[in-house]
Amino acid sequence: MQTTSLTVEKGSVELGPNVLSGVSLPAAVVYEDPLIHNVEWMQRFAEAHGARLAPHGKTTMTPALFHRQLQAGAWGITLATAPQCRAAFAHGVTRLLMANQLVGKANMAIIATLIEQGATFYCVVDSQENVRQLGRFFAERGLYLSVLIEVGVEGGRCGCRNQQEIVSLAEAIAEEPALSLVGLEGYEGVVHGDNPESGIRAYAQYLVDVAVELEAAQRFSEPNPIVTASGSAWYDVIAEAFRGAPLQGRFTPVLRPGCYVVHDHGLYREAQSAVMARRPDLQQGLEPALEVFAQVQSLPEPGLAIVALGKRDIGYDQLPIPLRRYREAGEVAQPLSVTGWEVTKIMDQHTFLRLPEEAKDVAIGDIVAFGASHPCLTFDKWRQLLLVDAQLNVKEHLATCF
């Protein structure tokens, strides 16, 4: 027996075109209006700061969203792995910024093929050994590889730990005919310290200073070298540092937040509040666009509902947050209350909801909309999500390519 892959996936539309009637739940939905808002908002933000935007694609790995980001003006798409780059390129993304080290011959071969097929590709390096490996591999393939030096911090993740290492690495790159040093990369999300804000400001300034110094020493092999950093929590601080005089007109500053595209109801909502507090000039910030809908399957004890939603369906770095409740086939305009409802536990396929005393009308089959913290780890649970309008009508299936 065979069937098309679409029909065996979670969340496919079975009976009708609305999430409350006819969609097999659980299902992950992306609301179109806030999605459009977020895509445009961040594009405008980057442009207002003289920066290019290369949204991190690993968050969604959803080509339809990459296309929206590019159509809004994004310079390219950032990715984390060679297979992610291959997937994005296969769906028409031609400028790929791999904000990660490229290791392993199989992964190098994936990238070599993409370059042969016309991709504009960048990856980062932080060790002499990796530089030699890449230099040898791409020389043997008769190809050129553009690399950025990763600027790290002590106690952080990847990246050179000091300026001496950076300069030595630039020299090593210069010795590899197949490699071109085209910029610097950093990730401020791993900067720690008593005061994250001042730590990140100092780190951003360090990144700018090193870029200017390397350029003065003619270390870059192309004009307008790239300087890139920023996740979705501190992009404003990075953008301000990049907006300063030393980079403008001489470098290509690139911001690469990912989670902003659908935002969230946890970690990034808090981070965005902090952005808006730091930058009162910014109008109407990001809006959460991603929710997971699931149904009450059991009401086994007073005050306890078990929902057919699990770790297979939603990110659980933090417990999911109940947002609204609907009757199956009910009115979108009249959601029922979830005041006082609290998720106490999540298992592979079940979520435990503690209900307040007054929640007496809960019924088997009631549909609960949940928000999550950290969209990356919700997207990767789904082979497709549903793009919906404000009335929860399904407008499009958003296929992922994790």
Cβ pair 254, 53 in contact under 8 A: yes
Q: Which token pair is 16?
A: 């009708």
Select 69 or 295, whichever has its Cβ closest to a copy of itself.
295
Cβ pair 39, 57 in contact under 8 A: no
Select 217 or 347, whichever has its Cβ closest to a copy of itself.
347
Dihedral angle, C-alpha 115, 119, 125, 129, nearest 10 °? -10
In three-state secondary structure terms, 372 is: coil
Q: Per DSSP, which regions of 163-269 are E strands? A: 179-186, 226-229, 252-255
Residues in the chain: 402
Distance of closest approach, residue 1 Cβ to a copy of itself, in angstroms: 5
Kindly report each contact of residues 195-201 with a partner whose C-beta sits within 8 Å and lies 24 or more positions away, as own/partner. Answer: 196/234, 197/237, 197/278, 200/234, 200/237, 200/238, 201/237, 201/241
Distance of closest approach, residue 216 Cβ to a copy of itself, in angstroms: 26
Select 61 or 247, whichever has its Cβ closest to a copy of itself.
61
Distance of closest approach, residue 315 Cβ to a copy of itself, in angstroms: 9
Distance of closest approach, residue 21 Cβ to a copy of itself, in angstroms: 7
Select 189 or 335, whichever has its Cβ closest to a copy of itself.
189
Select 86 or 219, whichever has its Cβ closest to a copy of itself.
86
Distance of closest approach, residue 366 Cβ to a copy of itself, in angstroms: 9
Select 43 or 100, whichever has its Cβ closest to a copy of itself.
100
Select 49 or 68, whichever has its Cβ closest to a copy of itself.
68
Distance of closest approach, residue 83 Cβ to a copy of itself, in angstroms: 5
Q: Which contiguous run of DSSP H or E holds residue 215?
A: helix 196-216
Select 38 or 78, whichever has its Cβ closest to a copy of itself.
78
Contacts of 394 (CB under 8 A, 6+ apart): 13, 17, 18, 19, 23, 386, 387, 388
- DSSP code of residue 190: G
Residues 148, 102: Cα–Cα separation, whole Å = 11
Select 49 or 374, whichever has its Cβ closest to a copy of itself.
374
DSSP characters over 55-106: -BTTTT--HHHHHHHHHTT-S-EEESSHHHHHHHHHTT--EEEEEEE--SHH
Distance of closest approach, residue 127 Cβ to a copy of itself, in angstroms: 6
Output the CA–CA distances (angstroms, integers) from residue 156 to 128, 159, 183, 194, in the order listed: 19, 8, 20, 15
Distance of closest approach, residue 185 Cβ to a copy of itself, in angstroms: 13
- DSSP code of residue 197: H
Residues 259, 257: Cα–Cα separation, whole Å = 6
Least Cα distance to 268 among 179, 373, 370 occurs for 373
Distance of closest approach, residue 224 Cβ to a copy of itself, in angstroms: 27
Select 5 or 248, whichever has its Cβ closest to a copy of itself.
5
Distance of closest approach, residue 282 Cβ to a copy of itself, in angstroms: 26
Output the CA–CA distances (angstroms, integers) from residue 152 to 68, 159, 360, in the order listed: 31, 4, 54
Contacts of 255 (CB under 8 A, 6+ apart): 46, 49, 51, 52, 53, 54, 228, 229, 230, 235, 238, 239, 242
The CA angle 41-46-50, to the nearest 5 degrees, is 145
Select 63 or 253, whichever has its Cβ closest to a copy of itself.
63
Distance of closest approach, residue 280 Cβ to a copy of itself, in angstroms: 31
